[in-house]
Structure 1
Amino acid sequence: MLEKTFALLNDIPGGTYVPDEKKCYDDAEIEQLSQILKRLLWAPSQIRKKLQQAGVTIIPCNFYSEIPSIEDIERSFDAPVQNFDLIFDDSGMKEFLAELHQFSHEFDPPREAIVGGSYSWEGNPFSFSDAMAYYCMIRRYRPATIIEVGAGWSTLVADLALKANGAGEIICIEPFPPEFLRGIDSVKTLIERPVQEIPPAFFNASLRDGDFLFIDSTHTVKHGSDCLHLYLSVLPRLSRSVFIHAHDIRLPATFPLNELRDKHVYWTEQYLLMAYLIDNSRTRVQYGSTYHFLRNRQQLNAFMHGRFHAGGGSLWFSQKGAPSA
């Protein structure tokens, strides 16, 4: 089955865009496949569960689909791409970045890891200006406790900064921890469970004023997701005044066309985050890697000292404690 289509795909790497005029499938084979998949669309859940265990899911494609169609995605980029500016204060964010800059000369890791379990710029998902900002945030505001929801390479950065401070500890909530996480000195607690299982009271018991809540989630807004728990249950109930981080946030922009269309990146966390921040008197956006890359690149480049590329997806905001949390 699909022999002709696979032959056409043979020399095309996965995630590559192929324009419509260059056909990469056989009509008859794809029509046959679509009929098979339609029969399975409303099949008993045990069949769909088996497919999902193999890494494949089948969902309807219609006006109400939670995953946008390729046509929807491409059409959305035909019009001017919407910018989401309501939560940003340009002058305030430039002043905040200037505050962080005083510590930026300290953070100078190698491009490639010298030993296993050590931080380097290359070969990891937490790099660019995100890493520089995290290090400088810790050095500037000296948190006693950092809770990381999603841990790994970011934890290596935090460990370096806390050691430079001479104090501080990390609590990691990470259901799939890399082995090196267990050897990081500043990690005092490792909770190998999904954050959905951690009640809001835990965060209030663990954090004090000035501490950090670092979020690097699945980025998905769906039934039972970590994002729903964090943004709708945990954050509104935080009783302490803290700094909060969210990762892979592209605001004030959307995700780029190639990631949406060709790489199945349908992350919607940033829109729930923005809804949380709009007109929220308790919060103030302080730093955004994408924001500065798009609107303030000269200052961001200076922040990096030429050590690695500017950019990234970190967004930091401060939040005042809830009086009745």
Structure 2
Amino acid sequence: MNRKKLINFYLKIRRGLFLIINFFFLNPVNLEVFKRVAMYGYGSDKCLKKGFLPLPVHFYSPIPDIEDLEKRKIWDKKSELKGIDFNQKKQLILLKILGRKYYQECRWPLNPTKNPADFFIDNSGFSFGCAAILYTMIREFKPHRIFEIGSGNSSQVIFQAIRTNQKENQINKTSYTIIDPYPGRYVINREVKYNRLIKKRVELMNPVIFNELGKNDILFIDSSHTSKIGSDVNFLYLDILPRLRPGVIIHIHDINLPYEYSKNYATSECFRQFWNEQYLLQSFLTYNHNFEILLAMGYIMVDHLKDFKLAFPTYDSKIHELSSGSFWMRKSR
């Protein structure tokens, strides 16, 4: 059974479970109980111990009113990004440079190979666009150090780019650090080669470690995407980004600016997430002249898809179905 058939089989099983849950557990009586817990907090301590918490849809709550958002056509809007230099022309120039120099190296198989370290396109979280820009940024800027927060398919791409750089120049080596409390199999088994693995939540780390990063080094962030009390996102934006040395290049994953997060995140019964990291990022960049935007792939893949296809002729939208939410910026001073 191939990978797509397995995924479809899994989705059918999950849909069946949802039907059972809806029929037996989400009946009017139980829903009224959940509503009372959400409104008045009775029993919320017990809910938290089980890892969930009913919350009201209320103006004091972080849970939005979906019907209200749809009426206001939130998902059709494009932010003006007032107070931010979005560097549209410079983004396209860099895109062309990266594509012209390295696009031929961005030929990845659709499905997994026998080598677990090899990146493949048909994965669930890291698109061709994300991979192509990550790979070519490492090839172009040749960082001495890379810190990756949150490992995954991106680790395969990073390893490949580092390996290619080192084949070209044995002297300029890259030290690769992975920070992830729950690394994947190919990281644990060292199928993807790295210099240091820190199995720790990033928000529990001493911020001083990030002083190791210097000019053209890369801080790759793939966080929980959620700003909340004590979160990794708060730690990274409030404690780490401001302390970085000039010249450090930063990647942030799953950013759609200037567009809203995908409507599917808020409306899908199977995957309902209310991420808010990109709002914090937009606030962070407003009137902030210490950081410059290099590439916003969520913008590029919508407003300048033709330019991306010209830069990377190996891209095929029929095969490479996932869009890109990679956001690249640099600490300028």
TM-score, with structure 1 as normaliser: 0.84
Identity %: 30
- Structural mapping, 1:202-221, within 5 Å: 202-204=209-211, 206-221=212-227
Unaligned runs of 5+ in 1: 1-9, 17-24
Q: Distance in 2 between matches of 1:43 and 1:247?
A: 37
User: For 1:163-182, what aligned pairs fall within 5 Å after superposition?
Assistant: 163-166=163-166, 167-182=173-188
Distance, in Å, in 1 between the alignment partners of 2:267 and 2:47 is 24
Asked if structure 2 preserves the Cα contact closer than 8 Å seen for 1:73 and 1:257, the reply is no
1:38 correspondence with 2:35: yes
Partner Cα distance (1:308, 1:156) in 2: 21
Aligned-pair distance for 1:235?
0.5
Contact 2:44-2:53 at 8 Å conserved across structures = no
Structure 2 CA distance for partners of 1:151 and 1:80, relative to 1, 3 Å: closer
Residue in 1 that maps onto 2:61: 65
Contact 1:207–1:240 (CA<8 Å) still a contact in 2?
A: no
- 8 Å contact 1:289–1:313 — kept in the other structure? yes
User: What amino acid maps onto 2:195 in structure 1?
Assistant: K
Cα deviation for residue 185 of structure 1 reads 5.3
Give 3-state SS (helix, strand or coil) of 1:258's partner: helix
1:138-193 Cα distance to aligned partner (Å, 9 max, x none): 00000011000111211110111111111212101101001201314541111111
Change over 3 Å in CA distance of 1:78–1:214 after alignment to 2: closer
Q: Match of 1:3?
A: none
**What corresponds to 1:222 in structure 2?**
228
The answer to whether the 8 Å contact 1:74/1:257 transfers is no
Change (3 A) 1:292 1:11: same
240, 247, 269: which is aligned to 1:241?
Answer: 247
Aligned to 1:152: 152
Q: Is 1:48–1:57's contact at 8 Å kept on the other side of the alignment?
A: yes
Query: Partner of 1:192 in structure 2?
Result: 199
Question: What is the Cα-based RMSD across aligned positions, in Å?
Answer: 2.6
CA displacement at 1:45 relative to structure 2: 4.6
**Would the aligned equivalents of 1:247 and 1:313 in 2 still touch at CA under 8 Å?**
yes
**C-alpha distance after superposition, 1:197-246 (max 9, x if no partner):** 11221100x21221000000010011111110000111011134210000
Q: Which amino acid aligns with 1:135?
A: Y
Equivalent residue for 2:261, pick from 251, 255, 258? 255
Q: How big is the shift at 1:11?
A: 10
Determine the structure 1 residue equivalent to 2:103: 104
Does the aligned pair in 2 maintain the 1:212–1:242 contact within 8 Å?
yes
Q: Size of the alignment, in residue pairs?
A: 300
Partner of 1:95: 93
* Unaligned 5+ runs, structure 2: 1-11, 167-172
Q: Which residue in the other structure is 2:121 paired with?
A: 121
Distance 1:229 1:11 in 2: 38
Distance between the aligned counterparts of 1:79 and 1:319, measured in 2? Answer: 30
Give the Cα separation in 2 of the matches to 1:80 and 1:256: 10
The alpha carbon displacement at 1:48 in A equals 1.5
Change (3 A) 1:65 1:138: same
Could you tell which deviates more after superposition, 88-97 or 227-236? 88-97
The residue identity in structure 2 corresponding to 1:114 is T
Following the alignment from structure 2 to structure 1, what is the Cα–Cα distance between the partners of residues 14 and 73? 24
Q: CA deviation at 1:50?
A: 3.1
Task: For residues 222-273 of structure 1, give each alpha carbon's deviation from its aligned partner in whole angstroms, at most 9, with x where no partner exists.
Answer: 1111110000111011134210000001111002323322231211101101
* DSSP 3-state at the match of 2:330: strand
Amino acid at match of 1:291: Y
